Amino acid sequence: MTDLRIEQVDGDALLRDWQHVHNTIIPTAVLSLDEVRERVRRNRLEVAYLGDVLVGCSTLRPPTSEASVATVIARVLPAHRRQGFGRALYVRGLAQARELGADVIETVVLESNPDGLRFAQAQGFVEVERYLLPGDSVRFIDLRLA
């Protein structure tokens, strides 16, 4: 994994790569490029490459002045799972969340992604809530680091 490169989203090429991974992993909540641009203004978005091959992305929703809760989401394309990339993205996001003052760490997984749910639980996350967004047919699972 020495060739793993993680870059903060900056510019249209990285925005499109982040969008591709997100939309592949979360097909029930496809984001337009404009929606990704809006997210990058309030969240830390990163993309991961093995050499030049896109393998995943991450989102860090930072804590706010009202709550010291951060959300760390690591997404890895199916062909690149179980190789340590999700863990690398998660550990990086967790460290960034802690540096920003987060006392509580949360994540969210699409119910149809059993790999993602197993990964989150293996990191110590416990389920808090399952819910459907308006118009969706697959539930999201909110989890909190125990």
- Point out which residues pair with 129 in neighbouring strands: 142
- When pLDDT is averaged across residues 65-74 and rounded to a whole number, the result is 94
pLDDT at 1 over 70: no
- When pLDDT is averaged across residues 107-136 and rounded to a whole number, the result is 92
Q: Give residues with Cβ within 8 angstroms of 95, minimum separation 6.
A: none
This prediction has a pTM of 0.92
pLDDT at 128 over 90: yes
SS3 100: coil
Residue among 58, 51, 61 nearest 105 (CA): 61
pLDDT at 133 over 80: yes
